[in-house]
Amino acid sequence: YHEEKIALHASIDASLRKPYAVRVSDALIQAYGLDSHLTRCVCGKHWSPIAENEVGKFHTEAYLAFLQKLEFDAHEVTDEAASFVLNSSVCFSETAWPYSQIYTGGSVAAAHALGKGQADVAINWVGGQPHARRDCASGFSYVNDVVLAILALLPTNERILFVNMDAYHASGVEEAFYTTDRVLCISLHRGQAGFFPGSGGIKDTGQHDGANHNINLPVRDGFSDADLDAIFLPTLEAAAARFQPHAVVCCAGTSVLAGDRLGCMNMTLHGYSRCLRALLSIGRPLLLLGGTSYMQSNTARAWTALTAIACEVDLPPEIPEHEFSSYYSPTFRLEVTPVTMDNLNTAESLKATCDAALNTVAQMSHRTAVPKLTQPAAAPCPMDATADDAPTMAVRSDEPPLAAPEHAMDVSHPSGCAEPQRAHQQTPQLAAQQPAPGSQPLSQPPEQVPPSQQPQDAIGEAGTHEAEIAPEQAGVSRDAPEESAPSPDAPMDVEPD
C-alpha cells in the first residue's frame, strides 16, 4: 500500500522525516525489481485516504476538528494545541491531517483485505504510528493507525496478536487494548529512564479481561542479534502457541538497527529478518507496518529486505543503481553491520525479563488451535486490481475468512477502563508545510458504525504513562520548503514516533 507523493509530507520544521524515508525505501524496492513479485495498491487507484468518520471510531471529535484546522487555519487553533498533546515531543506539521489520512487509510485498507481473506500478507510501510491517544497526539503519531487497523480486523478475527519491534514502546496500542483478551500485545523496546515514551514496564501485563495479555520486553543499550534467542523469539513462540491468534499485526520500526543514535540498539538485518520469519512461521494473515525511521538508508535496507522475505525472494547484496544510490555510500551493500558499542544487556537481565514474560504467557488461557494458512497462490490486488496487475504480495489462503465470533468483544470498548487524567500538557510547535496532493477524503466512505459500537480509549491504573510536561508557548512557522529532502542519515534532536 503506497502513496506516490508521500514525500511531500516530510517537514524539516516539524522534524518529520518518515515520509521521505518511505520514498527512499520504495525506490530501493523498485530498484531490486520486487514490484514484479507483488501488487502495488496505490492511493487514489486501489484505496483512498481514510474518511473522518472512520477515524472517529477511535479518536474524539474535538481532536479531529483540531487536526483538520491545522492545514489552512492553524492560527485559529494555536492556543488550543496544549489540549491535544500528551508530551513535549509533539510537533504538528501543517499537513498533519492529510498525512494522517493517507497512512491510516493504507493501514485500514490493508486490514480489510486481510479480513476478507484477499491476502495473507499486506504491507504499509508509511503506517505504524502507535503512540497517539484517542484525544491527543504523541510523538509524530497524530492518528493511531495501528489501533484503527486492529479494530478493522476484529469483526472477522476473534484474536489479534500485535508485535512491536522498535526501540520505542507502542504506548498508544497498549493503552487501547489493556483490558481485553482479544488482543495480545508484545513489545520489544529500549527500556531506559527518560527515554520516549517512558512506558512499557515488565509489570504492565494488562487488567480485567486483559490480564496477562500485555507483554513488555524492555532491553538496554547495545541489544544485538544474539540476544534475540534469549528473550524475544522464545517469548513470541510461546505466546503465539498459547494465544492462537487469527491474525498478526506488526510494527517493524528500524530504530532497533545498528547505527541509530537515538535507538541505541545494535541489531543487524540478519537478526531483524529472523524476527519477520518467526512471525510468518505462525501461519496467520500478517499486517506489516513501518515504525520509527530516522536513518533513511538503513530504513530502506530493512524494509526492502522484509518485503523480499514476504515475497520469498533472495536479493543480491549489492545495491542496484537508482536515484538514491549515493545514500548507501561507502559500502553500497544491503547489509547493516553492527557498530562498536557496549552491550549493557547481561545474560542474567535477559533471562529475568524472559522468565517474567513466559510466566505471563503461562497464566494466559490456552486457546483452541487455529489452522495455519495453506501454501500461498497468486491472487489479484485486494482493491479493484485489473487482470494486468502483478500478483499480490500476499497471496490468498484457500480457506474462507473467519465469521465474526459469537462471543465477540464489543469493539466500541477495546479497553474498558476510565481515561487517564493528564494534569499538565505540553504546547506543541505548529510547523508550516506546503499542502500536499492526494489527501482528499474518500469518494465513497466506508460503512458507518453505530455510535454504540464506536471505541473508547482507556488504560489500567497500573499502566506506566508517558511523561507529561507543563504548557509552553506554541509557535507557527511559515517558512517551510515545498518538498524538503533531508540528508540521508543526519541525527535528529527530537523525540520519535
- Which whole-number Å values give the CA distances from 376 to 48, 247, 279, 385, 398, in the listed order? 27, 16, 16, 18, 8
4-33 average pLDDT score: 91
Preceding omega of 197 cis (within 30 degrees of 0):
yes
Q: How many domains is the chain built from?
A: 1
The answer to whether position 404 is within a domain reads no
The 3-class SS string of 247-288 reads EEEEEECCCCECCCCCCCCEECHHHHHHHHHHHHHCCCCEEE
Q: Please give the radius of gyration of the chain, using alpha carbons only, rounded to the nearest integer.
A: 21
Structure confidence by residue, pLDDT tens digits, 127-150? 999 999 999 999 889 999 999 999
The answer to whether position 415 is within a domain reads no
Q: What is the structure's pLDDT at 375?
A: 54
Distance CA 24, CA 496 (A): 19
Structure confidence by residue, pLDDT tens digits, 467-487? 333 333 333 333 333 434 444
The answer to whether position 302 is within a domain reads yes
Which is catalytic among the residues 2, 59, 112, 131? 131
Segments forming the whole domain that contains residue 218: 6-363
Query: Has 246 been annotated as catalytic?
Result: no
372-397 average pLDDT score: 44
The answer to whether position 256 is within a domain reads yes
201-208 average pLDDT score: 96
Residue 367 has pLDDT above 60, yes or no: yes
The answer to whether position 223 is within a domain reads yes
Q: What is the structure's pLDDT at 378?
A: 39
Higher pLDDT, 427 or 11: 11
The 3-class SS string of 54-78 reads HHCCCCCHHHHHHHHHHHHHHHHHH
The answer to whether position 318 is within a domain reads yes
Structure confidence by residue, pLDDT tens digits, 242-282? 999 999 999 999 999 999 888 999 999 999 999 999 999 99
CATH at 160 = 3.40.800.20
The answer to whether position 414 is within a domain reads no
The answer to whether position 147 is within a domain reads yes
